[in-house]
Amino acid sequence: MTGFKGKTILINDGTGSFGGYFVNYLLDKKFKEVRVFSRDELKQEEMRLRLENSAIGFYVRDGRDRDSVDDVMAGVDYVFHAAALKQVPTCEFFPMQATQTNVVGSQNIINSAISHGVSKVISLSTDKAVYPVNALGITKALMEKVVQSTSRKLFQGQTILSLVRYGNVLFSRGSVIPLFLKQIREKKPITVTEYEMTRFLLPLKEAIQLVGFALQNGRQGDIFVCNAPSANIGDLAQALKNIFSSDSEIKIMGIRHGEKLHETLVSKEELLRSEDMGGYLRLSMDDRDLNYKKYLSEGDKKVIQTEDYTSQNTTRLTVPKIEEMLLAQPEIIAELKNQEL
């Protein structure tokens, strides 16, 4: 990823899993300033003390408040919008909070970026936005539509709004692997929803690479996804058991509120507007206007002869392959070292 030299970069939720990793990634990129934007004052303080870098500014702000966003947007070149309520059960029980953060907050970020002449905004979405069955997916799908509807109103030379969409990021906050590790460490049963449930798996490093690809190649309203493997949740638990020589049993708990058995990363309708860019897909937005009359007479002549891109029909990792992926992650390496002490 290139192009950060001399730039001012705003990371919304700069203290989250993606944001924290991205700040570390940027440290040697000769940027002018990185602005860490979040509501988490404790994590901001911890990051500030750890980095001790005067070119990184910390702003305790709420993206749901437009004035709060405007205060830190002036002079920004690139915005990386990662803030969201991301836990499926939490969003199920507090859907209006999910709407305020994931939809209204996103609109605030992009409108502020446009009014301040920001060059590019990359917004982070999730596979749960495709055929959404829960409040998290619904609000993320709406976030995508907000970005694309705003994109349609912009002219050449204005802020470029694009998105990335990916599945489960390994070791992101609230994800399943840290929970499994905690249960293994405490010699408790590993609680699995359904053994055959599948999820896309993406290391944080590859999520950063996807965002960088979108930054370099994004056009108005584009969504970028990367070709990602998946795994059975039960096999993921077994791989962790093998790595740590654990005797913990795998206990099936049943599907939680709002969960799917399999996730969809790209719908078959989107695949019709996709472009293979070598490891990444560019999904162009539907740019038809509101003149529906012509579609009643002409219609869409494309015939859908494909299937959705799901965690069930993508490359499925075996237990040894899951172990190989996990053993390359710094969090697993650190956990194994701690086990040796």
For 285-341, write each residue's pLDDT tens digit.
987 777 766 666 666 656 555 789 999 999 999 999 999 999 999 989 998 988 876
Whether 162 and 221 have beta carbons less than 8 Å apart is answered as yes
Of 296 and 242, which is predicted with more confidence? 242
- pLDDT mean over 79-100: 95
Backbone φ, ψ for residue 85 (5° rounding): -80, 125
> In the prediction, which pLDDT does 66 show?
96
Whether 209 and 1 have beta carbons less than 8 Å apart is answered as yes
Asked if the model's pLDDT at residue 237 lies above 70, the reply is: yes
Cα–Cα distance between 201 and 322 in angstroms, integer? 9
For 110-164, write each residue's pLDDT tens digit.
999 999 999 999 999 999 999 999 999 999 999 999 999 999 999 999 999 999 9
**Which residue from 280, 281, 261 is spatially nearest to 271, judged by alpha carbons?**
281
Cα–Cα distance between 161 and 331 in angstroms, integer? 33
Rg (CA), the chain: 21
> In the prediction, which pLDDT does 85 show?
94
Whether 82 and 13 have beta carbons less than 8 Å apart is answered as yes
- Average pLDDT over all residues of the chain: 92
Whether 239 and 71 have beta carbons less than 8 Å apart is answered as no
Check if 128 is active-site: yes
For 5-20, write each residue's pLDDT tens digit.
999 999 999 999 899 9
Both tokens assigned to 270: 């989107």
CA angle (295 as vertex; 292, 298 as ends), nearest 5: 155
Report the helix count and the strand count for the chain, using DSSP H and E: 14, 16
Cα–Cα distances in Å, from 192 out to 142, 284, 323, 335? 30, 36, 17, 21
Residue-by-residue DSSP string for 231-289: EEHHHHHHHHHHHTT--PPEEE----TT--SS-EEE-HHHHTTEEE-SSEEEE------
CA dihedral 182, 185, 186, 187 (to 10 degrees): 120
CA contacts within 13 A on the Cβ side of 204: 18
For 174-214, write each residue's pLDDT tens digit.
788 999 999 999 999 999 999 999 999 999 999 999 999 99
Catalytic option among 120, 128, 140, 241: 128
For 223-232, write each residue's pLDDT tens digit.
999 999 999 9
For 25-45, write each residue's pLDDT tens digit.
999 999 999 999 999 999 999
> In the prediction, which pLDDT does 222 show?
97
